[in-house]
A and B are shown apart, each in its own frame.
Chain A
Amino acid sequence: MSFTVTASFEAEIDELISHYPVNKRSASLMLLHATQEEFGYISKEAIEWIAKKLELQPINVYELVTFYPMFRQEPAGKYVLKVCRTLSCALGGSHKLHDHLCTKFGMDPHKHGLQTSKDGKFSVEFVECLASCGTAPVMMCNDDFYEGVSNDKAEEILKKCS
């Protein structure tokens, strides 16, 4: 995929950089978020572009992509389902939910990391605490957040993904 930046995207990036008047390196994480939202993942070209924009070496940006769990270097499915794995959700049935989703999409529930369905529509990932332990188990579908996700409720959520 070639890395072509639209004028509106570049304007968004410049606005973000303006939030850090002391040192624009601070904008790195926000630029990575914006890039991932725009392109679906962080490519090598994107890293080089961000580095140039912030007057950094590409390694300064690359080391963030490999450190922060939310950034990915490969495309994911159209809908990324993040199921909380940590204790309160585990007590509330998150493994059952994760198993259900993995089985449904032909994935291995014991494999670690993000997995994507063959048709590229869904990705499933176990993530650490999503800070809603009182309504376990919880799940995110892209930016949308869902509480008390039984297998039935998960099916309802998936129906809305077209």
Chain B
Amino acid sequence: MPQEFKLILKNADSPGYTPDIECYLRHGGYEELKKALALQVKELAEGKKQTPQEQIRDEVLKSGLRGRGGAGFSAGLKWSFVDRRSGKPIYLICNADESEPGTFKDRQILHKDPHQLIEGMVISCFANDVKLAYIYIRGEFPQGARILNQALKEAREKGFLGKNILGTGVECEIYVHRGAGAYICGEETGLIESLEGKRAYPRIKPPYFPAVLGLYMCPTIVNNVETLCNVKHIMNMGAVEYSKLGTPNNTGTRIVSLSGLVKKPGYYEVEVGKVTIGELIFDPQFGNGLRDGRKLKAIIPGGSSSKILKAGEKYKLKKKGADGQMVTVDTDLLDLPYDFDSLMQAGTMSGSGAIIVMDDSVDIVEALANLSEFYAHESCGQCTPCREGSLWMSKALHRMTHGHGRKQDADYLLNIAQNIQGRTICAFGEACAWPVLSFVKKFKEDFEAKGAADEAKNGGAGPSKDMKIAASPNH
């Protein structure tokens, strides 16, 4: 029986819980920070010693925590890449630029339980010798920014932030920095440029890995809101207990954002890999199924950039059999465990943990046109294949959804998308190409039928003479 498991949202969603510090303290707030600051140097075998900071970093690594923002990379490993020998200050940035279409989990934390994030951040700053940190919050969360500023003020007054935290001599300051409506700021090097007061043009890697050359060319850690909150719980439970949540290599909980055409859309926190996609869509405590009389057509499993999964598809999942040997199991879409590794094996990704459900009433060409318009609008314009390609794809899809499709449009779209991915500075190239590649490949008959119908109606290929569509979509 699958069920919700509330770790991060335990307090946020309990009745009467408010975002102020008094309420947080009544719920055991900042106890983990006190615990972290009280850690002593640990004597290891062979006369080796481990500092409190190293102990926390070690716990985070052993917990198996993977980044909740999109890439699913080990948080502990990310921390281990930080250049600690350069002598430069180390910075930490919380990525609260939640803007991957389909995702609305960080919104819950930021608005309802800001102190949980702040505590997770101060522990993470302590563990990484960070004295100055920023929360980069998207511009469209003005209330969230106000709530965070108020929470930071309260934390300062109570001595959880500042030059001498709780009298221990540890220093850490956090400020809120607001974005201004650009999706690309979610990409960590774009975010850093934006925080430096520039256009959010992502930096090329190498050499600009944030862990080495990040904010102000100093070592920088960029972690998602949910990831940083998990640090607090790892501190509380210890790596061993924490890693018992979820499944091996997919530890902890995840807040799944479920939207689209289900009866009960919403956010659901579950142990990673303990709930299947089918359960998330159909179980009464989650999505509660599709609207009456509708059939599942497809889902976008991990934010709009992830590749679409079509109803009825089977994937080959590698699993440990009863005898401990790896076996390949044919798994239906609905039976896919919702975790990082299973979705990768299914050729897509769990990304930001956002599932968009589409039933048989959805015109798949329209749906892709909607997403492509988003990417055309959000391309930062730095790399030619992405800047031009995202716009070409959007224009072609705009034409197709306005009665002027062509039979060869499907191949045209595939060709453009294939020439974007892998040819750009940042992953936005893939993010705009993958929806097109997967939608068109998996629903090619829909795209070709639409093009053929339009050609028949308009008397051949090409736009009809009376075509009056504006050349450019939303620009």
Kindly supply a per-residue 1/0 record for chain A positions 6-40, scoring 1 wherever the CB is within 8 Å of any chain B CB and 0 otherwise: 00000000000001111101111110110000000
Contacts of B178 in A (CB 8 A): 29-30, 33
Q: Are A128 and B104 in contact (CB under 8 A)?
A: no
Stretch at the interface among A82-90, A116-124, A153-161: A82-90
Which chain A residue shows the least CB distance to B185? A68
Chain A interface residue bracket vs B: 35 or more
Considering only CB atoms, which chain A residue lies closest to B194 in the complex?
Answer: A29
Taking a contact as CB atoms closer than 8 A, the residue among A67, A88, A132 that contacts B200 in the complex is A67
**Residues of A bordering B, CB below 8 Å:** 19-23, 25-30, 32-33, 54, 60, 63-64, 67-71, 82, 85-88, 90-92, 110, 112, 126-136, 140, 143-145
Chain B residues near A (Cβ < 8 Å): 98-104, 106-107, 132, 138-143, 175, 177-183, 194-200, 216, 257-261, 265-267, 300, 304, 354, 356, 358, 362, 367, 370-371, 373-374, 377-378, 380, 470, 472-475
A112 touches B374 (CB 8 A): no
Contact B197 A64 (CB under 8 A): yes
* Cα–Cα, bound, A33→B267 (Å): 30
- Bound-state CA distance A140–B354 (Å) is 22
Contact of A29 with B138 at beta-carbon distance under 8 Å, contacts A126-B474, A132-B107, A134-B257 already known: no
Assess A128 versus B197: contact at CB under 8 Å? Given A86-B101, A134-B259: no
Interchain CB contact under 8 A, B197 and A29: yes
Question: Is there an interface contact between B140 and A131, defined as CB atoms closer than 8 Å?
Answer: yes
A29-B194, A133-B103 known; A128 vs B374 contact (CB < 8 Å): yes
Contact of B197 among A27, A110, A133, A145 (CB under 8 A): A27
CA distance A140 to B142 in the complex (A): 10
> How far apart sit A86 and B435, CA to CA, in the bound complex (Å)?
14
A70: contacting residue among B180, B266, B362, B373, CB under 8 A: B180
A69 touches B182 (CB 8 A): yes
Q: Residue of B at shortest CB range from A71?
A: B180
* Residue of B whose beta carbon sits closest to that of A129: B101
Q: Verify B140–A140 contact, CB threshold 8 A.
A: yes
- Chain B residue nearest to A133 (CB atoms) is B259
> Nearest chain B CB to A107's CB is how many angstroms away?
15
Write the nearest CB–CB distance from B143 to chain A, whole angstroms.
7
| A87→B474 contact, CB < 8 A | no
Report how far A87 CA is from B364 CA in the complex, Å. 11
Task: Find chain B residues with CB under 8 A from A71 CB.
Answer: 180
